[in-house]
Amino acid sequence: MTKTKTIFVCSSCGYESSKWLGKCPACNEWNSFYEEKEQNINARDIGKKERVKPKSLNIIESKEDVRIDTGYGELNRVLGGGLVKGSLVLVGGEPGIGKSTLILQLCNKISNKGKVLYVSGEESDKQVKLRADRLNINSENIMFLGETDIDRIDDEIMEMIPELVVIDSIQTMYSNEITSAPGTVSQVREITARIMRTCKEKGITTIIIGHVTKDGNIAGPRVLEHMVDTVLYIEGERYFSYRIVRTVKNRFGSTNEVGMFEMKNEGMCEVTNPSEMLISEGNEKYSGSAIVCTIEGTRPLLVEMQALTTMSVYGIPKRTSSGIDFNKLALIIAVLEKRASLPLGNQDVYLNVVSGMKIVEPAADLGIALVVASSFKNINIQKDIALIGEVGLTGEIRSVNLIDKRIKEIERLGLKKCIIPENNKKYLKEKHNLDIIGVKNINDALKAVGIK
Ligand code: TYD
Ligand code: MG
């Protein structure tokens, strides 16, 4: 009997190795290798047709992409103006984040234009029907197929030629040509390649749903990103209702886009004016809170930042932060101690971005510094001031990008004042109708809000 050959594959990037490795040499992911049966290479060449001759780019006819309106402004935005006809879109996210819900809502909108084939390997027809009822969806054009065998799905697509195909989810589908279990790298790749072939040939728009876990252990969307045209990720915190749809890759538009949704009882609802919602609950009376202006994708967002400092009862003070990187908080506390002479060494410091948003951009630094100082000194920062600026290690306030866009948003929301880096103020391109204060260093900024 011949021995079956096995290989070890990285579930994060697809790197193959003959033995198990703790750390992937290609993508540096830890503990991502698992065993798979080696595939016969020829199996991958199935479907190859006659030889295609190269031709000059000049003689190839180009035509504008036909875009399908998704019926949701926020989705159109992340897709770069609508769903491109014939494109392959991957929608990733943690389990339970709302992928199936959002895509079913999208199916409903597209079903006005033609048949939609919704293939689910995760839920039964009754479960999907229950969700559809909940979302008030009763289109005749949405066809449900509870199938996981790619051959049969392929046949069905060929027969129906629908306007849109949805595969929910890629991890549950399998191909008989591959011996490893559903959800493994080789299965997931093979199935995506098969779907891609069929849909590109017939010009059918396709959406593939894929689960990603936080630690990226399950083989999934990461290894598919290079095969598809567009990759969207849905992000959000489990205990908050906001969901951000982010473009990770887009062959037909910018990748710097985000769409905002809110998960409600009646499904995913668009949030067209997020800033208004994010700062609406601010409490005027207490110190340690301020409005900062951050950029998500290309869109400015105003969010409330809060800090609380208390005398530490332990030898080592405690610092916690949510929504902001912990090391960033530590760095800014150090700058406040050294450059602004605030003795925070014996203080516990808690930092929070209200409403579960995560901010990674440096323009929020000034906000972090000022809310911590505000709580420590117990002096309020007025609620009609917005803060923008990166804090450097010498205490300087460094300039940030897209300043005019940010100020416009602050102005639109009716705030009266903003504190921005001096260097940004010098080079403002547009006229703004609010009080703009330029600051050079952290001490200037503390003075500007009345803390020093
Ligand atoms: P789902 O779309 O099934 O997540 P995924 O496909 O990403 O795994 O959504 C799951 C969650 O959404 C579930 O916890 C219930 C919630 N939900 C609502 O809050 N409102 C709704 O209208 C629906 C359909 C689901
Ligand atoms: Mg689902």
Residue 258 has pLDDT above 90, yes or no: no
**Residues, CB-to-ion distance under 5 Å, ligand 2:** 100
Residue 49 has pLDDT above 80, yes or no: no
Per-residue pLDDT at 214: 63
Residue 368 has pLDDT above 50, yes or no: yes
Task: Please check whether residue 157 is in contact with residue 129, taking contact to mean a CB–CB distance below 8 angstroms.
Answer: no
From the CA of 125, how far away is ligand 2's center (Å)? 13
Share of the chain above pLDDT 70, in %: 93
Could you tell which of 91, 101, 243 is best to mutate to test the pocket of ligand 1, judged by most ligand atoms within 8 Å of the CB?
A: 101
Give the pocket of ligand 1 (CB within 6 Å): 93, 95-101, 131, 134-135, 263, 265-267
How many whole angstroms separate alpha carbon 13 and alpha carbon 167? Answer: 22
5 or 59, which is more confident: 59
Atom of ligand 1 nearest to the CA of 102: 2
Residue 46 has pLDDT above 50, yes or no: no
CA of 118, nearest ligand number = 2
Atom of ligand 1 nearest to the CA of 94: 7
How many whole angstroms separate alpha carbon 443 and alpha carbon 341? Answer: 10
Look at ligand 1, atom 9, and give the residue with the nearest C-alpha.
98
From the CA of 262, how far away is ligand 2's center (Å)? 17
| CB crowding 283-299: b at 16 or more within 10 Å, else e | eeeebbbbbbbbbbbeb
Q: Tell whether omega for the bond before 18 is within 30 degrees of 0, i.e. cis.
A: no
From the CA of 98, how far away is ligand 2's center (Å)? 7
Q: Name the maximum alpha-carbon separation found in the chain.
A: 82
Q: What 3-state class would DSSP assign to 275?
A: helix
From the CA of 274, how far away is ligand 1's center (Å)? 21
From the CA of 97, how far away is ligand 1's center (Å)? 7
pLDDT digits (tens, 9 = 90+) for 123-144: 999 999 999 999 999 999 999 9
Residue at token pair 């799905």: 153
Q: Compute, in degrees rounded to 10, the torsion defined by CA atoms 360, 361, 367, 368.
A: 40
From the CA of 100, how far away is ligand 2's center (Å)? 4
Atom of ligand 1 nearest to the CA of 101: 2
Per-residue pLDDT at 212: 82
Residue 220 has pLDDT above 70, yes or no: no
Could you tell which of 106, 233, 263 is best to mutate to test the pocket of ligand 1, judged by most ligand atoms within 8 Å of the CB?
A: 263
Per-residue pLDDT at 39: 57
CA of 101, nearest ligand number = 1
How many whole angstroms separate alpha carbon 284 and alpha carbon 58? Answer: 63
Atom of ligand 1 nearest to the CA of 123: 3
Quote the Cα angle for 186-188-193, to 5°: 95
Per-residue pLDDT at 226: 85
Residue 102 has pLDDT above 90, yes or no: yes
From the CA of 86, how far away is ligand 1's center (Å)? 27
pLDDT band at 42 (very low <50, low <70, confident <90, very high): very low
The pair of structure tokens assigned to 288 is 């340690």
- Exposed/middle/buried for 200, CB within 10 Å: 0-12, 13-18, 19+? middle
From the CA of 190, how far away is ligand 2's center (Å)? 21
Q: What 3-state class would DSSP assign to 244?
A: strand
Atom of ligand 1 nearest to the CA of 209: 6
